[in-house]
Structure 1
Amino acid sequence: MQPKSTVNRQVKTEIAGIAGLAFCGILVETSMNVTFPTLMGLFHTTLNNVQWITTAYLLAVTLTIVLADYLQRSFHYRIILTVSVLASFFGGVICAAALNLPMILLGRVIQGAGTGMALPLLFTIIMTQVPRQ
């Protein structure tokens, strides 16, 4: 007979949702390189300029991960989760509606901030909400 799980359904759902958000953020980042030739033609710009889309995203992710400890001490994790989801969503909307390269950069920075909040939050929830045994 298997022991009953001590992790409630809400925590499992939160972990799955945050893991999905983090996965989508990393997937979008890695797949962005494929779009470079199309973006270069669409915006009539050089590869150096288009590479800033990925660079800005990764800088935003890194900066937000560095700030994660402060954010987690200052705000409840549900607030951070909500802001992370909203930032990822609205960053994607800005990118989809972008008419020029600076708009895409803005959207990607906002998406990066959302992903950067989700990654450490995932591990924090696992460490604090899931019992070791």
Structure 2
Amino acid sequence: MILKSIDNSLEKYLLLENGILYLVAESSKKIDYKKPSSRLFSYVQEKLPTSDIKRYSKPMDLSNLQVFTFLVINKGLNPVTCQLEISPDGKEWGTFGELEINIFPDEKQVFVPQYFLRYARIKFKSKNLGFHSMITVWFQGQF
């Protein structure tokens, strides 16, 4: 190991170690390595009843979020069918290849869109005619 001062101080020096030359600069300034705080947005819709016709969760505006996820929990006694929908304006909705997922009683399913449009929601209905259930939809995003 060979040390060579650059400006006759120990704040900047060259270090030669195992044939590799390193520039080492030490700062008198204290650096605070706190983890950056993140802002979390969380919204839950509980006890949403399913039926034989399609119903929808509240549309969520994704425009200011960096990451986001829906979680659907089947809290009822019968299976439900759910699918993620996205929209550019909150009026024109589409699934754009998102899969329709069956969620059985006491099961959970995460939904994350494969494409970005400003709004997203969960479309849901009873899997079997006349056999209704109850779901909870969580939405969480990080600014």
Higher helix content, 1 or 2: 1
TM-score (norm: length of structure 1)? 0.21
Larger radius of gyration: 2
